[in-house]
Amino acid sequence: MKVSEHKLPAVMTSQPGRRFLRLWKMPKQYSSVTATEDISVKTENGLKPKKNLYIRKEGSSNVVFRHVPEEWLLFVTDIFTTLVEIRWRVMFLIFALSYILSWLFFGVLFWVIALAHNDIKDHNNQPCVYEVRSFTAAFLFSLETQTTIGYGFRGMSENCMIAIVVVTVQDVISCFIDTFVIGIVVAKMASARKRAQTVGFSNCAVINLHDGHLCLSWRVGDFRQHHLVEGTAQAQIVRSTVYASGKMDLSFEDLVIQQRDIVLATPTTIFHKIEPGSPFYKMRLVDLRKEDFELVVSFTYTDDYTGTLHQTRTSYTPSDILWGQLFQEMIRTSRRYYRVDYALFNHTARVLVPEGSAEEYELKKQVRATPRQSPRHSLRASPRPSPRPQKKDHHGNLLKSPTITVELMKDSRPEPTNEQRSASQREE
């Protein structure tokens, strides 16, 4: 595996005619991987084969159904949803054919009525429809009736009741066709799939330190200016296991997101804290590149204008998860506004991140946090024991204070006279 050594830009120097960045080499225990580097993992059989995505980058599912029972019946039963989901060119073709076939059908009916009433051969006969003497004239009358053009050259007469009934049925059917076409076009233009294209995820996910913990993060943003309502972020790890018999099992594991409910007024970075219970807790950088999973992330929200529920999805493979990268800040403040630069939406910068697993990182933090005392320091700091035991009072927590006794002694000798005192002073 090819891993680039982490280098941090320190000073940018500009000179006449050239510009360069001064870089410092970082310690070997820290590394990062950029999106432009070609990272490949070799196995025993060579390079790791490319895996089909379960969810494509644009959010559509990479699933094809085969041998669905009564598939055409299901599509016809729910014809409205079928027409909303088909492509625009197919829908335009179906709508054009619906109008043209209806004109042809009723044109044939008017031509048959003219033949039965002998309006084509006998021009002196009172016709059922004025100026309808051929199939072309019958088709033009059908078109003018259904589109309510009304040129005033062809029209109904009171001679044929059957022609009047056919015109009435054609008018009712034309109203149904117009309503159906307009409803499908409006529903297709306001579909959640089109609105979901204005909410996007970053091209990659990153792993870095956030609040002292290794976190997996990705960025989501709304490219329109109006707000969304009740946005909820979700993430799942999808793993596929293929057995020798050809059987394949899919397993799904939910990731705990720190902040699920988001008001997407500005682009937001979603964090998953790599802690015990997370599938990334015991995963190092080397292990990540050898993994075979798919990180499927989604953002479900309600549009505040239409009130329609939408969901935007994308997926990340292990090669899309950059270790030791941080999303660049794209929000700046001015006097009146918060300015968002979407040119930095997918830009990342290298940061200091240990390439070990989150479990190893937490153990190192615990070891550093534990105080270490040397034996010499402990002997000096420990007080020396007193040879005499200290007495305690009846409560056992206070020392007994010393007792001082004062006695007054009476002198039995007689007091000296004045002559004796003066003689003693002379001798001194």
pLDDT of residue 111: 92
pLDDT of residue 334: 84
218 and 333 in contact (C-beta within 8 Å)?
Answer: no
Q: Smallest Cα–Cα separation from 312: which of 328, 327, 296? A: 296
pLDDT of residue 414: 57
Each residue's pLDDT, cut to its tens digit, for the chain (428 residues) gives 444 443 434 333 334 443 333 333 333 444 444 443 444 444 444 455 566 788 888 888 888 888 878 777 777 788 888 888 888 899 899 899 999 999 999 999 999 998 888 888 877 788 888 888 889 999 999 999 998 887 778 888 888 899 999 999 999 999 999 998 898 888 888 766 666 677 889 999 999 999 889 999 999 998 877 767 778 999 999 998 888 887 888 899 999 998 888 888 888 999 999 999 999 999 999 999 888 899 999 999 887 777 778 888 999 999 999 999 999 999 888 888 888 898 999 999 999 888 889 999 989 888 887 766 555 544 444 455 555 544 444 444 444 445 545 444 444 455 556 666 666 656 55
pLDDT of residue 26: 37
Indicate the residue type of 68: V
Distance CA 302, CA 309 (A): 5
Which residues make Cβ contacts (< 8 Å) with residue 171, sequence separation at least 6?
A: 145, 146
Which residues make Cβ contacts (< 8 Å) with residue 69, sequence separation at least 6?
A: none
pLDDT of residue 99: 93
pTM over 0.75: no
Domains of the chain (ranges; CATH) run 71-190 (1.10.287.70), 195-361 (2.60.40.1400)
Which residues make Cβ contacts (< 8 Å) with residue 149, sequence separation at least 6?
A: 143
pLDDT of residue 379: 45
Where are the strands (E) in 255-317, listed by range? 261-262, 268-273, 294-303, 309-316
Tokens of 105: 């059908």
Q: How far is CA 127 from CA 110, 111, 123, 148, 151, in A?
A: 11, 12, 8, 21, 18
